[in-house]
Structure formats: C-alpha cells, structure tokens
Amino acid sequence: MPTFLCPLAFFHRAVHKIQGAIRSRPAGKSGCPYLPLSFAPTIPSVLLRSLSTLNYRNLVPASLAFPAGVSAVWGPNGAGKTNLLEAAYLALTGLSDAPRLEQLVTQGHHEGHIRAEVWQGGGLSVLEVGLGKGRKSIKADGVRVRSNDLPSGSAVWIRPEDSDLVYGPPSNRRRYLDELLSRLSPRYAQSLQRYERAVSQRNAALKSGEHWAMPVWEETLISLGSEIMNVRRRALTRLSELSAEANTDLGSAKRLVLELTETTSPEHYRTDFVRVAAEEHARGTTVIGPHRDDLRLTLGGLPAGDYASRGEARTIALSLRKAELELLHERYGEMPLLLIDDFSAELDPARRQFLLGLAARVPQAIVTGTEAFPGAARRWLADSGSFLPVLDSAPNTQPATVDL
C-alpha cells in the first residue's frame, strides 16, 4: 500500500470499482468526467456530485452519488448519518470539530480518506482529504493545498449541537465568528493565524518570566489584534441584520441582537496592556485581545445564554446558520451546499417548516433524521455505516459499498 497521504492510488482503485456508472463521459482537464446535463446547476451554486470514504469513523467504504435537490438519509441513531455529513463538510471546507484527527479514522486503522467530486465555479473538481494521527493532507485536483485554499463558500452545516452557540462558553461563539470571517476573507484567516501564534509565544514568555520581551510581542498583537477587531465590527453589521431577519421569519416575537463584548479596543490597546501588566505577569497569560472577546447574544433585551428557553436557543442557532448561508452566498455569488443533521429532532412546527422551506430553496441539500425528509429527490436508509438506496417504499438490499 502506498505511503500515507500519497496520490491514494489504492483508494482510487476502490472508488473506481463503485463509480463505473458515472464515468461514461470523457475526462476534463482535472481528470474528472464531465457532468451530465441533468446535473448541471441552473443557478450559480455548489453541488456535491459524489462522496467516497475509506476508513472514516464507522462508515463502510462506499461511494454515494448525490443529485441536485434534497437528498434524505434516515435511520436509527448511531447508524452513521452524522458521520456522513461530517465527512462531506470536512472534504468541502477542511474544517472539523474533532479534538484529535485520529478520532476520524476507523478504529483499528491508521489512515482514513475522503474523496469528493464537487461542481463549483462553473466546473467539476476532485477534493481529497487524507487523515492520520496528528496529520491531515488536502488535495484539489491532485495538487496539495491548505484548508484556507479550499473554496470558502462551499457548505453550511446545521446541527442540533448549534444550541451550544447560545448556552456554551464565549469560545464557542468566537469560533463561529472566526470560522465564518475566515471563509469570507482569506486575509482575516491569515491575520488570525498569525495573531494566535503570537499570543501563544507571548504566553510562553510570560510563563518563563521573560517580561523584558513583552514590548516586542505587544507591538505585533496590537497590529494584528486591531485588524481582527475592525473586521469583526464591520462584519457584525450585516451578520446582525441577517440573523434578526431569520429570527423573525422563524416566528420569534423577541428581537435578536448581536454585539461584540471586547476586552480592549484598537484605540486603547496600548494603554490597556500597561493597565493589566501586573495581572498578566501573575497569571502567565495574555488577558486582553480578540482571543478573549465574546459575541454577545441578546433576545428581547436579555442575555440569551441566561434567559432563553431551549426552543428559543434553537431558533437563535438556526438564525445564525441561515445568516451564514446568506453571507457566503453574497460573498461568492454561489449558493453553498446545505447539510442539515437530524431534522427530525426539531419538534417545533415553525422550526421544522423553516428547515423544510430552506432545504427546498437551495440548489442542493443533504438532510438526515430518524425519518425520511419529506419531498426528497433521493433517499438512503442508514444501517451500521452503510447506506441503502430507497426506491419507492422499500430499500434496495444491496448497499453502496465495495469489498476492499
């Protein structure tokens, strides 16, 4: 077998065995078959043509072909539905919430792979992700790239855990904001990465008592931190508007407001470092800057994390994801792929109808649940990591898998 993160010839042979039906047209420049005319989008959009996995969590090695419109994946809990959406989101965006990359690899294996054929920007591309212990490699059309080099507006993932954006710690909301802004602005992503590295280095100097080096780090943090705060402030205007509109559309009579709670400001950054110097020396950590700020959510004038009900928190989370979808669409001119996890857990009629309408309006959506999503163009029954195509009312007994 080839070495880790090579061109994945072994993986490709497995994939090709189960993709014969979609390789009948001649290859384009990327080496991918051209899209059949029935698949080509009628409006600018991102479409996932196929997704193949090998040694990914509990998923049986498989290749699934997705049509435009809504695809439904349904089955019992633990059948692999969320893992399928996670693999798609990782392939398209390079992003994962997994604390350790090796957790994404099937137990008993050392490497995992994902391959996605994606229609974007008027053409078809192949995105590949190789996973191992502490290692991730991404390729676009066979060329090694970084996560930041992937198409930034490619997918939005709505999931039940989004309520943690309301009830969770400030780090959850910072991550939401930073990931969104990084996808909207490559420069923001670069500045954030440099800022976080500088904070880490300054904290190490504080812990080791190298207080003489503080002025050097502070100049870097003031420059990068001010840039980050200014971008956040500008972006929050439109993000707040879109979130408030979605919250109203979901039937909430209370006004949703998004505000930044900052530990310092570009105007007072330098003097604030002087003010907190003794505290930072005692604690051995940097206590001011955008890495300590919060995206404050208020509903009806009250802090949502303290006063919002579970249903209200879910509505706020859906509003934030809808705003994310709209912002990415506005920025790149293409509608992202929409991934909705466990829609059947949404018991409120207004929120369920909102998800039904949202999935129907985008060019492509993949929706999971313990029941099939109504009106889906294609359906699969999830069973222990396999996905059985459902035709009419009965699932096909042959899963879309291949013996490796």
Query: Among all chains, which residue has been given the structure tokens 């993949």?
Result: 366
* Residue 26 CB-half CA count within 13 A: 2
| Co-location of 74 and 210 in the same domain | no
Question: Distance between CA 70 and CA 359 in Å, rounded?
Answer: 7
Nearest to 134 by CA among 98, 101, 90: 101
Sign of the alpha-carbon torsion through 28, 33, 35, 36: positive
Q: What pLDDT is recorded for position 308?
A: 97
Nearest to 6 by CA among 122, 169, 139: 139
Question: Distance between CA 124 and CA 77 in Å, rounded?
Answer: 33
| Co-location of 30 and 131 in the same domain | yes
Nearest to 299 by CA among 363, 348, 247: 247
Q: What pLDDT is recorded for position 397?
A: 38
Q: Of the residues 265, 299, 328, which one is the last residue of a structural domain?
A: 328
Given a contact cutoff of 8 angstroms between Cβ atoms, the answer to whether 158 and 321 are in contact is: yes
Cα-based angle 372, 251, 339 (whole degrees, multiple of 5): 35
- Give phi and psi for 349, each to the nearest 5: -60, -40
| Co-location of 139 and 167 in the same domain | no
Q: What pLDDT is recorded for position 345?
A: 84
Question: Distance between CA 162 and CA 220 in Å, rounded?
Answer: 34
- Give the total number of structural domains in the chain: 2
Instruction: Supply the Cα-derived Rg of the chain in whole angstroms.
Output: 23
Question: Distance between CA 330 and CA 380 in Å, rounded?
Answer: 32
Which pTM value belongs to this model? 0.86
Reported in sequence order, the residue ranges of 133-222 that DSSP labels E, i.e. its strands, are 135-140, 143-145, 155-158
| Co-location of 317 and 342 in the same domain | no
| Co-location of 316 and 359 in the same domain | no
| Co-location of 177 and 193 in the same domain | yes
Amino acid occupying residue 122: G
Q: Of the residues 297, 328, 359, which one is the last residue of a structural domain?
A: 328
| Co-location of 236 and 184 in the same domain | yes
Which neighbouring-strand residues pair with 156?
Answer: 338
Per-residue pLDDT of the chain (404 residues; tens, 9 = 90+): 333 334 344 344 444 433 333 333 333 333 433 344 344 556 789 999 999 999 999 999 999 999 999 999 999 999 999 999 999 999 999 999 888 889 999 999 999 999 999 998 889 999 999 999 888 999 999 999 988 788 778 999 999 999 999 999 999 999 999 999 999 999 999 999 999 999 999 999 999 999 898 998 999 999 999 999 999 999 999 999 999 999 999 999 999 999 999 999 999 999 999 999 999 999 999 999 999 999 999 999 999 999 999 999 999 999 999 999 999 999 999 999 999 999 988 778 889 999 999 999 999 999 999 999 998 999 999 999 999 999 864 444 343 433 32
| Co-location of 257 and 370 in the same domain | no
| Co-location of 139 and 266 in the same domain | no
Range of the domain at 242: 162-328
| Co-location of 323 and 340 in the same domain | no
| CATH for 304 | 1.20.1050.90
SS3 324: helix
Q: What pLDDT is recorded for position 349?
A: 87
| Co-location of 167 and 272 in the same domain | yes
Amino acid occupying residue 228: I
361 burial level (CB within 10 Å; 0-12, 13-18, 19+): exposed
Question: Distance between CA 97 and CA 74 in Å, rounded?
Answer: 23
Question: Distance between CA 81 and CA 59 in Å, rounded?
Answer: 9
Q: Of the residues 312, 328, 344, which one is the last residue of a structural domain?
A: 328
SS3 23: coil
| CATH for 338 | 3.40.50.300
Question: Distance between CA 401 and CA 387 in Å, rounded?
Answer: 8
Q: What pLDDT is recorded for position 42?
A: 60
Other beta carbons less than 10 A from residue 330's beta carbon:
12
| Co-location of 117 and 264 in the same domain | no
Cα-based angle 263, 267, 271 (whole degrees, multiple of 5): 70
Given a contact cutoff of 8 angstroms between Cβ atoms, the answer to whether 318 and 354 are in contact is: yes
Q: What pLDDT is recorded for position 26?
A: 39
